[in-house]
Amino acid sequence: MEKEIQVDEKNYYSRLDTFIRKNFPELKLGAIYSLIRKGFVKVNEKRIKKNNYLLNIGDTVKIILNEEKIEDIKRPLMPSLKPRAMKFDIIYEDKDLLVINKPPKVSVHPGNKEEKVTIIEGVMYYSQGDFEPHLVHRLDKLTSGVMIIAKSKQTAREISYLIQGRESKKIYLALLVGELKNNKGKLTSLVDEKEAYLKYEIVEKFKTNHGVFTLVRIELLTGRKHQIRVQFSEAGFPIAGDDTYGNREINKILRKNFNLKRFFLHAYKISFDYNGIHYEFAAPLSQDLQTVLAKLKEDS
């Protein structure tokens, strides 16, 4: 069984693996890498075994599939997207972009068990059919802050490229468990076997009756999955409230005494140049995290 598609301006992504992932969403990501590695992907009838092979508009991509194993490489069926009303704060909007302050505890995209309204569904409802929203980047469900949504697939591709590379500046605020000694620093390590970098500086320290906590401003230099949470945990200063990579006993104390009901991570600011214009978007710290800081000060 073969699937074939021609690269055009509407479906174009430069990397082969990204192109297949975007144009064949029914295939599992691991299966895509395996198909490329084993030579079951052809570009213009030539077998390509490099995930990062660069495509050009006009190329023909062919995927060779084993019909007997097709069910093994398919993603589970995802719930269909539908416009659903939700409230969110708009930071900026023009003909190309919609920038919102993502509320905490809201998923960006529906999952198999997602019943609550998601960001993409809320924006679909907001658009009233005037534009088709496309995610430029993602934030974890529990992370709040600046989120950019493109109003066309082409804009999404272009802005995603800027954000994923070094051509943008991404700033986060996080509360760490413990006392950092240096006012500024850099973390360098491997996350998911890929190099990961970030810089940080201390904003404020809270020496409370329940321990010391440090508020930091982080510049994310690479964009690995859960990078900030993983790197600070490995450094011995996990994100406050993070039960996955942090200290659950301390998190219980934070919930009980400081009302921290999620991990303390906020996408504070993002800036980049696009089409000759400099954009800079900032989202104030969400109210629940402001409350936590106020209670920490009271206890210090």
CATH of the domain at 159: 3.30.2350.10
**Domain membership flag for residue 79:** no
Could you tell me if 231 and 198 are in contact, meaning their C-beta atoms sit under 8 angstroms apart? yes
Please give the Cα distance from 101 to 88 (Å, whole number): 7
**Domain membership flag for residue 13:** yes
**Domain membership flag for residue 77:** no
Residues 51, 103, single domain; the answer is: no
Please count the other Cβ atoms lying within 10 Å of the Cβ belonging to residue 178.
17
For the chain, how many structural domains are there in total? 3
**Domain membership flag for residue 84:** no
CATH of the domain at 51: 3.10.290.10
Backbone Cα Rg of the chain: 21
* 8-state DSSP, 253: H
Question: Last residue of some domain: 133, 164, 195?
Answer: 164
Is 44 strand, coil or helix? coil
**Domain membership flag for residue 118:** yes
Where in the sequence is the domain holding 55, given as residue range(s)?
A: 2-72
**Domain membership flag for residue 288:** yes
Could you tell me if 198 and 187 are in contact, meaning their C-beta atoms sit under 8 angstroms apart? yes
Please give the Cα distance from 100 to 281 (Å, whole number): 9
Q: What residues are labeled active site?
A: 140
**Domain membership flag for residue 218:** yes
Residues 173, 288, single domain; the answer is: yes
Residues 150, 199, single domain; the answer is: no
pLDDT digits (tens), the chain, 300 positions: 788 999 998 888 889 999 998 888 888 888 888 899 999 999 999 999 999 999 999 999 999 887 656 555 555 545 567 889 999 999 999 999 999 999 999 998 776 555 688 999 999 999 999 999 999 988 999 999 999 999 998 999 899 888 887 789 999 999 999 999 899 999 999 998 889 999 999 999 999 999 999 999 999 999 898 999 999 999 999 999 999 999 999 999 999 999 999 999 999 999 999 999 999 999 999 999 999 999 999 998
User: What integer pLDDT is reported at residue 31 of this predicted model?
Assistant: 85
User: What integer pLDDT is reported at residue 192 of this predicted model?
Assistant: 81
Residues 148, 222, single domain; the answer is: no
Could you tell me if 154 and 274 are in contact, meaning their C-beta atoms sit under 8 angstroms apart? no
